[in-house]
Structure 1
Amino acid sequence: MVKAETVDKAYEVAKERYAEMGVDTEAAMKQLEKVALSIHCWQGDDIHGFLNPDAELTGGIAVTGNYPGVARTPDELTADLHEALSLIPGTHKVALHMIYAVAKDGKKKDFNDIRPEDFDYWIDWAKKEGIGLDNNGTFFSHPNVKDNMTVASPDKAIRDYWIEHGKLTREVSNYIGEKLGQTCYNNFWVPDGFKDNPIDKRTPRERLLASLDEIEAKPYDEKNTQDSFEGKLFGAPGIESYTVGSHLFYDNYAITRGHLWTIDAGHFHPTEDVSDKFAAYFPFTKKDLFMHVSRPVRWDSDHTVIMDEALVRITRSLVRDNYLERTHLGLDFFDATINRVAAWVVGARATQKALLQAMLEPIDQLKQAEYDADFTTRLIETEELKSMPFGAVWDKFCQNNGTPVGMDWMQNIHQYEKDVQFKRN
């Protein structure tokens, strides 16, 4: 176990080193403390939910692995989330999907039979935890996903079903936000597309546009809920060649309709730099951005987030360009090959580490060097920052927030497996 005095000694050295570069470590930690991540509930139960947990995952959704201890009930899932939140510094939110409704009568319900009150279980739990909730419509794993189409389907009956579902997600999100007294961000992602090259690329997008406008017709108080729209380059399996809801489509839709745009780090081509998107989006809208932090491996495979170069570039861009306050950060991955609670903690702490490293930069100095065309100084300082002792500041941040330092939290995971998770199988 890492000793408190060891953390303090290392931090004092790091504090002094950063001060020499004009960086206030205390201010950086205070800034990080204000960032609330939206922790995705579906990592804990492999995206089955509680409406029909035995249903096969379809619509471009797949989970691999069978590590023991998967959550099977609402109480098991919230217990796992509580454990994860206790190991992540700061106060955060939890993101739900409509399939996580907990029917009061205990009976299985169709997606469109859900009522706002079916989320009272989550609202009561969130109040106990002192956190907020976000939401997502579930446009997959249902018989009415026909030929990989939902709201863009040429079949009006299919289209109408999913339009109704979209309206319902907004009603539920408004209810959640109203009950918790904070904004519930409601994310839309739909899997519509074609496996092979389509002849008609125009009509599906016109149908999608009309469907979304119908879904969005009823206004809600933005203090309670705001909608965000998530594009995708391609999906596997089934929509490798054409995605109706592309990035450009939803970017334009969000800007012209006054909504948020969702950027998922795993939804772009592997050679695209996601961090370059922010400064190209924000100048055209007064709305915020929703960011899904995920990790693709060659495709949108939703691996557990790690502090890799892509994540570092994303957080640097948000911090350096002062877009962090306008960006809502949520996690989105699912890995059943490892302990599911550990996956949450690894992903969240990696995101926080990357943010902290970005906050521990003399940004004004670096910008001034750039404005002065002093690219030599810019290069030298950014290179030297890579070996600065930011880890000591991170350990102090964890200590200040009452969470385990370093790898100490692994002991919590192993004990939780033994006492709780492994007893489920």
Structure 2
Amino acid sequence: MTNPANIEKAFLLAKEQYASLGVDVDAALEKIRSVAISVHCWQGDDVAGFEGDEGALGNGLAVTGNYPGRARTADELKSDLELAYSLIPGKHRLNLHAMYGDFNGPVDRDQIEVEHFQGWIDWAASQEISLDFNPSYFSHPKAADGFTLAHADEGIRQFWIDHGIACRKIAAAMGKAQGNPCINNFWVPDGYKDTPASRKAPRERLAASLDAIFSENLPAAHTLDAVECKLFGIGSESYVVGSHEFYMGYAISRNKVLCLDAGHFHPTEGISDKISSVLMYVPELLLHVSRGVRWDSDHVVTYSDELQAIMQEIVRGDYLNRVHIGLDFFDASINRVAAWAIGTRNALKALLAASLEPTEKLQQLERDGDFTSRLALMEEQKTMPLGAIWDHYCQSVGVPVGAEWLNKVQEYEKTTLSLRSSCSATV
């Protein structure tokens, strides 16, 4: 057990070191206290949802591993999330997919209503967290050929348009109940495995479908529509209808939130460099922070160079009021609650590190053309005592310091997760 007095001693010494660079540690801590990261529900159950069908994911999605203890019901998922939130400093959000409703029987996706998510709305209120939402355009018979909103069949397109309209109404109800906008993010898997004869026609259909979904103006105080691009997927290696250029243009022309997923670009391409560019033209930005390993593999977020670069761009550009930070990974090879804790704590730690930079000093050196000093200070920053500030922050808000949170997860695994008879075994 870490000694609280030692944590405070280390914090005061670290605070002095940061002050020598002109960094206000208290202001940095206050900044990250106001950030609510949208934690994704699908890490807890391997993107299975609660529609009563335990079939394979399909449509470009896959989860690997068979670690025991996958959540099988909404109540189990809520229990797992409550533990995860107790291990993460700050008050955060929950990102739900449409397939996670309380359906109590067959309900097709074009028929879902607010009542199917009232349990989540009530639970979120009891936990004092807010909800975000996503339509589910995958793992469904009407998406079996890899097309939904861009499908050539008008009837199938209309089915998925109706699903999107239903999801917007649900998201608006969530936002109204919680008193802040529910971000409703649209991602569709539409694309071809091999080279298409027409790249134009599916994109025209996708744009028309989205326009139909967004035709009703809903209060911005209740919900914000986001659209998400992708470079390629399983089964859409050669052509994805909703490319970056497609959704960039769509978001600009329709005044929508643009979603950038860290795994949805070329394996050597980072989203950090895109943040300042796209925010010149779109009103707000949604980030799906994940970790791709050679492809869009959605590994648990680690404290990587790209994660740090993402948070640095947000802080250096003063974008916290225009960027919504969400997570998107699903790993069934390790304890799922631990994955949430690792990924979210790392995202917050990187945001704290970015907030502890002498940003104004660095930018002034840049304006002065003193690139030598700029580089020197950036390098010195890398070995500043971030850990002491982070430990103080965790202790001050009553969450485990260091790796102590792992003990709580391991105990929960013994008392709860290990008693669940069903586990995931998807590939």
Task: Provide the rounded CA distance (Å) in 1 between the counterparts of 2:259 and 2:326.
Answer: 10
Contact 2:94–2:132 (Cα < 8 Å) also in 1: yes
1-side partners of 2:102 and 2:342: how far apart?
A: 28
Q: Report the alpha carbon displacement of residue 146 of structure 1 after superposing the two structures with TM.
A: 4.0
Q: CA deviation at 1:367?
A: 0.4
Which residue among 390, 399, 407 is the counterpart of 2:395? 399
Partner of 2:320: 324
Alpha-carbon distance, 1:362 to partner: 0.7
Q: Which residue of 2 aligns with 1:77?
A: 77
Kindly indicate whether the alpha-carbon contact (under 8 Å) linking 1:46 and 1:70 is maintained by their aligned counterparts in 2.
yes
Same amino acid, percent of matched pairs = 50
The superposition leaves residues 367-393 of structure 1 with CA deviations (integer Å, 9 ceiling, x where unpaired) of 010111101100110000000001100
1:66 aligns with 2:66: yes
Distance (whole Å) between structure 2 residues aligned to residue 375 and residue 228 of structure 1: 38
1:289 alignment counterpart: 285
Aligned: 1:95 with 2:95: yes
Q: Is the 8 A contact 2:36 2:90 kept in 1?
A: yes
Instruction: Report matched runs for 1:144-183 at 5 Å.
Output: 144-183=142-181
Q: Could you tell me how far apart the structure 2 residues matched to 1:273 and 1:409 are?
A: 30
Output the CA distance in 2 between the equivalents of 1:146 and 1:418.
39
Q: Name the residue aligned to 1:39.
A: 39
Equivalent pair of 2:111/2:163 in contact (CA under 8 Å): no
**Are 1:135 and 2:124 matched, yes or no?**
no
Contact between 1:40 and 1:95, CA under 8 Å: does it hold in 2?
yes
Per mean C-alpha deviation after superposition, the further-off stretch among 224-233 and 54-63 is 54-63
Counterpart for residue 107 of structure 2:
109
Asked if residue 302 in structure 1 is aligned to residue 298 in structure 2, the reply is yes
The answer as to whether partners of 1:234 and 1:241 remain within 8 angstroms in 2 is: yes
Q: Contact 1:69/1:417 (CA < 8 Å) preserved in 2?
A: yes
Q: Residue 347 in 1 paired to residue 327 in 2? A: no
Partner residue, 2:424: none
* C-alpha deviation, 1:91, in angstroms: 0.3
The equivalent of 2:202 in structure 1 is 204
Contact residue 146 and residue 158 of structure 1 kept, 8 A:
no
> Moved runs in structure 1, 4+ residues, more than 4 A?
none
Unaligned runs of 5+ in 2: 422-427
Deviation at 1:113, TM superposition (A): 2.2
Deviation track 1:212-231 (CA, whole Å, cap 9, x = no partner) reads 00111111011111100000
AA aligned opposite 2:116: D
**One-letter identity of the residue aligned with 1:149:** F
CA distance in 1, matches of 2:189, 2:257: 19
Q: Offset at 1:55?
A: 2.5
Per the alignment, residue 56 of structure 1 pairs with 56
SS in 1 for 2:142: coil
Q: Does 1:420 align with 2:416?
A: yes
Distance 2:50 2:394 in 1: 34
1:216-249: CA deviations, max 9, x gaps? 11110111111000000111x2000100000111
Contact residue 52 and residue 109 of structure 1 kept, 8 A: no
Residues 111 and 166 in structure 2, CA contact (< 8 A), matched pair in contact too: no
Letter in 2 for 1:382: M
Find the counterpart in structure 1 of residue 360 from structure 2.
364
**2:236 alignment partner, one of 236, 239, 243:** 239
Aligned partner of residue 324 in structure 2, secondary structure: strand
Distance in 2 separating the partners of 1:112 and 1:417: 37
Q: How big is the shift at 1:200?
A: 0.6
Q: Name structure 1 gaps, 5 residues minimum.
A: none
Hey, what's the Cα distance between the residues in 1 that align with 2:132 and 2:36?
A: 12
Report the CA distance between 1:108 and its aligned residue.
2.6
The 1-side partners of 2:178 and 2:268 are apart by 40
Distance 2:214 2:45 in 1: 30
1:54-78 superposed Cα distances (whole Å, 9 cap, x missing partner): 1321111100001011101111000
- 1:155 to partner: Cα distance: 1.0
Deviation at 1:334, TM superposition (A): 0.2
TM-score (norm 2): 0.97
- In structure 1, the partner of 2:425 is none
Choose which of 189, 192, 201 in structure 2 pairs with 1:191: 189
| CA deviation after TM superposition for structure 1 residue 45, in Å | 0.5
